Amino acid sequence: MVFETKIAIVLREDLPVWQKLNVAAFLTSGIAAQFPEIIGEPYRDRAGNLYNPMSIQPVIVLSADAATLGAIHRRALERGVTTSAYIEEMFSTGHDAANRAVFAEFAPDEARTVGIALRAEKKLVDKITKGARMHG
C-alpha cells in the first residue's frame, strides 16, 4: 500500500536510549490521537487471542542535534503542521497535567525540544525534517 502522507518522529540525538524510547512512545500516541484513521483492525493470533490494533502506516524515526530539531520545530509551525512535541523539562514531571503545565511555560524558541512527531504529505514532511537523518 502506498501512502500519500508520511509519519516522522525526530529525536534529539544526545538522549539516553531509555529517553528516546519513552519520547517516541509519547509522540506516537499524539499522532494516533490526531489521526485516529491510521489505526487498523485488532490483531488476532491462531489461538484466538486478541491484541490491540496498531498503525496501518509505517513510521520513520530520525535523529537530529538540538539546533536541527529547533529548525524542524520552526518549519512545522511556519507551515501550520500540528505536531506532537516533547521538551526536556517533561522528564522531571510525573503525570499528564504536570507535563502540560511545564510545556506551557516555554515559547517555541525557548523550548529545549527533545522530540517532534508529525504526519503530513510526504514532500512536506521531507522539507520540514530536512537535516535529520535515519536514527541508528
The region that residue 48 occupies, defined by phi over 0 for left and psi between -120 and 50 for alpha, beta otherwise, is left
State the pLDDT at residue 90.
Answer: 96
pTM over 0.85? The answer is: yes
What's the rounded Cα separation, in Å, for the pair 118 and 7?
6
Q: Which CATH superfamily is domain 5-134 in?
A: Bit1 (3.40.1490.10)
Pairing verdict, β 133-134 and 59-64: antiparallel
Domain ranges of the chain: 5-134
Under the banding of pLDDT at 50, 70 and 90, the label for residue 93 is very high
What's the rounded Cα separation, in Å, for the pair 110 and 87?
10
Using one digit for the tens of pLDDT, what is the confidence trace for 120-129?
999 999 999 9
Q: Are 64 and 93 in contact (CB under 8 A)?
A: no
Tell me the three cell numbers of residue 69: 530539531
